[in-house]
Amino acid sequence: MQGSREEWMHVFFICSGFYVFSTIVYAVLASGVEQPWAKSTDAEAAESKLELEINVTNDTKSSTDDQRQL
**Of 60, 55, 56, the residue nearest 68 (C-alpha):** 60
Q: What angle do CA 55, 59, 62 make, to 5 degrees?
A: 140
Whether 11 and 28 share a structural domain: yes
pLDDT tens digits, residue range 33-68? 888 888 777 777 777 777 777 766 766 665 555 556
Asked if 2 and 27 sit in the same domain, the reply is yes
Count of domains observed in the chain: 2
Same-domain check for residues 28 and 44: no
Q: What are the respective helix, strand and coil percentages of the chain, to the nearest 5?
A: 80, 0, 20
Residue with the larger pLDDT of the pair 48 and 15: 15
Query: Whole-prediction pTM value?
Result: 0.46
In the prediction, which pLDDT does 24 show? Answer: 97
Range of the domain at 67: 40-70
- Pairwise pLDDT comparison (17 vs 44), residue with the higher score: 17
The whole-number pLDDT of residue 54 equals 75
The answer to whether residues 27 and 44 belong to one domain is: no
Same domain, 44 and 28: no
